[in-house]
Amino acid sequence: MSSEIGASHTLDGFPAAAVEFVNVMQRNRERIAKDAGLSASELRALFRVAAAVSVTPKELAAYLDMTTAAITFISRSLVERDLLHRVDHPNDRRSLYLELTPVAHQMMLDIHRDFVALLEAATSELEFADVDGFSTSLRSVARSMVIHSTRSEHATPHEALRASTAGRATHL
């Protein structure tokens, strides 16, 4: 057997910490969906509508990178469960808007309340200034990743990110 076939591919340092954080967030989102009796795609759709307040199926499909047929299936399911309702488009009789129902608004309030409580518990031993600084850094890294990911074919890893072995190694 070639050594490449059995090789483990892991990261360490900041990249490992970032992947660990993203994986924990993903597992939390999966738990939320399961607890609500929703698929991951249905929950993502609800989060998008909750943030945008009112979206067309076409806008939702573009945001979720899905076909309009998939969005029709998802939105029909969410309408049947009284989580979304359809609102006539004021300027286009062929189109409509998707909006949260009161049941879904309460669901989003509960999810956000629970998430804030989770993060407060997870950061309870940190000073406010540390959490505030981490928030600023996390936003900055996220925004920078959006910019840099669009030109990823030209990017090379920074040695400062790869060199540290202090953190736990993890995979992407």
Of 100, 82, 80, 40, which is closest to residue 64 (Cα–Cα)? 40
Torsion on CA atoms 48, 21, 139, 32, rounded to nearest 10: 20
Q: Where along the chain do its domains lie?
A: 13-148
- How many Å apart are CA 139 and CA 121, to the nearest integer? 20
Is 37 within 8 Å of 26 (Cβ atoms)? no
Residue 159: pLDDT above 50?
no
- Tens digits of residue pLDDT in 26-68: 999 999 999 999 999 999 999 999 999 999 999 999 999 999 9
Whether CATH 1.10.10.10 fits 13-148: yes
Q: What is the pTM of this model?
A: 0.77
